Amino acid sequence: MRFGINSFLFTSPFTTKSTSLFPKFKKWGFDTVEIPIEAPEHIDSVKVRKALDKHGLACGSVCACMGPGRDFRGSAKDQREAMKYCKALIDHMVNLGCPSLIGPVYSVVGKADAVDPKEQKREFALVVKNLKVLCAYAEKKGVQICVEPLNRFETDFLNTCEKGLRLIKAVNSPVLKLHLDTFHMNIEEKNQAAAIRKAGKLLGHFHACGSDRGTPGNDHIDWTPIVKALKGIRYKGDVVIESFTTDVKVIARAAAIWRRMEPTREEIAVKGLKFLKKAFK
């Protein structure tokens, strides 16, 4: 098991120049970096890989940023743009030596409406159709895709582990896995540990976030059963801190971060990692 940090805590967008963050991440004790690629042209993935190698880090995951115009349940144009974008991310992942494309790889974030059952069924079928194509591409490239349920305020499509597993079953690809996040589960799941156990061997990625998007451990989440559940299913993937602050304005607005959660973002990274390492022993 490796511990990682999502670069959104410090910058948006991540560009090739953002590799200047790597020495700091390594010094703090992280094993991996999670890189959100907002646009494929933002990075030279060959140069980023060299910087990772230089500082003894790995890119554990690339985070799909499903912004406007990228929607596997949207218009034909939006579906094409989403496919083009996600395939470009997978191409970058090959250069980065990155195993996992993670996040809401199904629909634009922020689309949360009351949709009637007939339309829900149609949208679900569209996402399944598109993910079958994307997963076939990912399989050829030797990487996996981990779909992340988000909370009800960010999507109406996929909110729970159970719905995520239903989607995975429908797509029926060996490279499609589940990505769970304690922040979203804190809102949507009755019991986080039970959700982790239900995911079992299909859990491919894990975000350890404070209940308020702050420091894991400095919150009200009961981490003991979560750690026990992850160990119980023999989870071997990355455990990544994905916290946001008001320092990165674009992300703060997107994630509705209107106040300072912790004194500094460095504290989130350092104290959060210390807590997780102690919790997982």
Q: Output phi, psi for 269, to 5 deg.
A: -70, -50
> Does residue 146 contact residue 179 with C-beta atoms inside 8 Å?
yes
Q: Return the bridge partners of 2, or none.
A: 238
CA-nearest of 130, 15, 138, 150 to 82 is 130
For the chain, what is the radius of gyration of the CA atoms?
Answer: 17
Q: Output phi, psi for 4, to 5 deg.
A: -130, 170
Q: Give the pLDDT confidence of 155-174 residue by residue, as tens digits.
A: 999 999 999 999 999 999 99
Q: What integer best gives the mean pLDDT of the chain? A: 96
Q: Give the pLDDT confidence of 85-131 residue by residue, as tens digits.
A: 999 999 999 999 999 999 999 999 999 998 999 999 999 999 999 99
- Residue 27 is predicted with a pLDDT of 98
Structure tokens at 191: 């019991």
Residue ranges of E strands in the chain: 2-6, 32-37, 58-64, 100-103, 144-147, 176-181, 203-207, 238-241
- Residue 259 is predicted with a pLDDT of 78
What is the pLDDT averaged over residues 211-239?
96
- Residue 244 is predicted with a pLDDT of 78
- Residue 253 is predicted with a pLDDT of 75
Q: Is 81 a residue whose pLDDT tops 90?
A: yes
CATH code of residue 110: 3.20.20.150
Q: Give the pLDDT confidence of 139-153 residue by residue, as tens digits.
A: 999 999 999 999 999
Helix (H, G, I), strand (E, B) or coil at 225: helix
Q: How many domains does the chain have?
A: 1
- Residue 154: give the domain boundaries: 2-280
- Residue 255 is predicted with a pLDDT of 77
Q: Is 249 a residue whose pLDDT tops 90?
A: no
